[in-house]
Amino acid sequence: MTHLLPDSAAPAAAPTVPRAAAATATASSASAATSAPSASAGAVSAGAASAARRRGRRLGPGKRLPAARLIGPLLVLAVWAIASAAGQLDPGAIPAPWTVLHTGARLWTDGTLPSDMLTSLRRAGIGFTIGLTGGVLLALASGLSRTGEALIDGTVQLNRAIPTLGLIPLLILWLGIGETFKIAIIAIVVYIPVYLNLHSALSGIDSRFVELAEVIGLRRWEFVRQVVIPGALPGFFVGLRLAVTSSWLSLVVLEQINATSGLGYMMFQAQNYGQSDVIIVGLIVYGVFGLISDTLVRLIERRVLSWRRTLGH
């Protein structure tokens, strides 16, 4: 026992020596071996310092630039403006930024743009609300009860396998070419990602928490309310964001095929008259809609899932 002590003490002590000190020691002992003590004094400290820095080299991408996300789009805009001003772009194909801006202002003041926007927003809004409600209700029914799962899950998975836009002809036959069928398509497009993600989050609840709830003796409803649903919210938000994206996508398609009003119709008409500036205005409005709705969902998600910020960071 006693003769073991020094041996075991030495390796135990070694790792506790601070790294920088170890580096310095190595550097100075190396310089002691060379035979120019005074001249190499500066070199020693420089060597030690660089050794210390080398160990701490940063491999991550570093600090984020201010307003980093805006730099790329602004660059594209600048190139577009310069090329237009220099006459390098065919104004019939790609009009100058100021032309687009001017057209946008004109469409806004003469009332076409606001009314088309409102029509589009209404379609998207109603379809989205119905799809979201349906998706959530179905996912709850199927995620919380085995009977519900047996009835619902297979059906939805089947529905998911059919591309929803492929249903357009059938739905037109059933519902006519008016607003109802457009809203129905958007609702279907929305409910599927909401259902899939919420259902898998509900049924994938961590079994450790199920155990905990059993030990504590939580009632079924308390378990669902305190454990299952909050635990499924991250999955729900994944589905929600997918749903927002796909609702805009289907809106664009619907309005450009079969519509007599709305943003897509405005753009379709512009195509017939060769008004590329109007088309670009429509695209920008779609983009703004998409950006705003995605930001909104993100903000809600940040609020609701505020506990998550403490985990990763």
Partner 1 sequence: MAANPGTLTAPAELAEPAVRLSGLTRSFAGRTVLDGVDLDIPAGQFTALLGHSGSGKSTLLRAVAGLDHGVAGSGELAAPERVSMVFQDSRLLPWRRVLDNVVLGLKGREARERGRAALAEVGLAGRENAWPGELSGGEAQRAALARSLVWEPELLLADEPFGALDALTRLRMHGLLRELWERHRPSVLLVTHDVDEAVVLADRVLVLERGRIGLSLTIDLPQPRSYRDPRLDTYRTRLLSALGVEETGGPEGAQPADAPDTEAPGTGAPGTDAPDTDAADTDGDDQ
Q: Please, which residue, 94 or 305, has the CB nearer to partner 1?
A: 305
CA-CA-CA-CA torsion for 182, 185, 186, 190, nearest 10 degrees?
A: 170
Q: Please, which residue, 148 or 231, has the CB nearer to partner 1?
A: 231
Q: Please, which residue, 97 or 231, has the CB nearer to partner 1?
A: 231
- Alpha carbon 263 to its chain centroid, in Å, reads 25
Single-letter amino acid code for the residue at 86: A
Q: In a 10 Å sphere around its CB, with 0-12 CB exposed, 13-18 middle and 19+ buried, how is residue 99 labelled? A: middle
At its nearest, how many Å lie between partner 1 and the CB of residue 194? 20
At its nearest, how many Å lie between partner 1 and the CB of residue 226? 6
Q: Please, which residue, 237 or 248, has the CB nearer to partner 1?
A: 237
Task: Say which DSSP state 308 is in.
Answer: G
Sign of the Cα torsion 250, 251, 253, 258 reads positive
At its nearest, how many Å lie between partner 1 and the CB of residue 139? 18
Q: Please, which residue, 183 or 205, has the CB nearer to partner 1?
A: 205
Residues at the contact surface with partner 1, assessed by CB under 8 A: 1, 208-209, 211-218, 222, 226-227, 230-231, 233, 305, 307-308, 310-311
Say whether 96 sits in a helix, a strand or coil.
Answer: coil
Q: Please, which residue, 65 or 311, has the CB nearer to partner 1?
A: 311
CA-to-CA distance for 293 and 299, rounded, in angstroms?
Answer: 10
Give the DSSP letter string of 204-256: T--HHHHHHHHHHT--HHHHIIIIIHHHHHHHHHHHHHHHHHHHHHHHHHHHH
